[in-house]
Structure 1
Amino acid sequence: MNASRANTGSRQLTGRCVCGAVHYEVADAFDYALNCHCSDCRRATGSAFKPFAGIAREKLRITEGIATAKIFGDAAANHDVFCGICGSRLFSVVDNGTRVHVTLGTLTDAPAIRPTAHIFVGDKAPWFQITDALTRYDGHLS
């Protein structure tokens, strides 16, 4: 987890868990946003897909509740950060610790970016129908 100061070159967004024990701040400078339909994201969110936005890890910091935030996965590389009280999945650390995928539903403020595609559609829930015109990929972006 990164507790250092987030870059301040752009507007800062805030986010938090359901119970309010963990808060974070992230630059509104996301590089991409996607809707992931993989089985891991569906299980982690309890929904049909996980909307997320990607950004460099140093542009996010936990501002409150760092002792309450828990890690699932390899703390030195890829892992998920969630609230140890309510269980909200706040973000995932990916690309061997260099980037974060912020779960868009945990943001308090609306980001400028919107999801541009659906990924892992080949693994999507059979009971869910995608009804928008966003590009679809069976796996990762090609």
Structure 2
Amino acid sequence: MIARLTGSCFCGAVRYAVDDAFRYAMYCHCSNCRRTTGSAFKPFAGIERDRLAVTHGAGTLLIQGDALNNDTHCARCGSLLFSVVRDGAFVHVAMGTLVDAPSIRPGCHIFVGSKAPWHTIADDLPQHEGHAGG
């Protein structure tokens, strides 16, 4: 049986549930992820879009982009909750918004070619200049 995890924005206005069946998890260092999170990188976990459901506060979502490719935030506190990617097929859940611990851990760093110059990657995970494997 697959566990169901919960997640929330900072202020609690938006909550979601997602299956603990993530396909992959990574640290993204691209400039878009850095600006969206205000951090050196975004830890995210990817899963099919239909395995995540907003359970509270759907009317409080701020969607930057379109239905098939976007960053989904809480409009009240600004928390980045997830990104809809791959033409709407997957979501990249911002792991910092998970209330429950997922079974997956990030397995690599991507877009290190554009990482913040003031940040040093201090682990032994594989590093990719762009997408993983590419």
TM range (shorter): over 0.9
Runs of 4+ in 1 over 3 A off after TM superposition: none
**Alpha-carbon deviation of 1:100?**
0.3
Q: Distance in 2 between matches of 1:119 and 1:132?
A: 13
Percent sequence identity over aligned pairs:
60
Q: Distance in 2 between matches of 1:21 and 1:73?
A: 21
The residue that corresponds to 1:33 in the other structure is 25
Q: Distance in 2 between matches of 1:17 and 1:41?
A: 17
Q: Distance in 2 between matches of 1:125 and 1:70?
A: 26
Out of 66, 81, 85, the residue aligned to residue 72 of structure 2 is: 81
Unpaired segments ≥5 residues, structure 1: 1-8
Q: Normalising by structure 2, report the TM-score.
A: 0.98
What root-mean-square deviation, in Å, do the aligned CA atoms of Structure 1 and Structure 2 show? 0.6
The residue that corresponds to 1:94 in the other structure is 85
Out of 115, 137, 142, the residue aligned to residue 128 of structure 2 is: 137
Unpaired segments ≥5 residues, structure 2: none
Q: What does 1:1-142 correspond to in 2, within 5 Å? A: 10-75=2-67, 77-142=68-133
Q: Distance in 2 between matches of 1:70 and 1:62?
A: 13
Q: Normalising by structure 1, report the TM-score.
A: 0.92
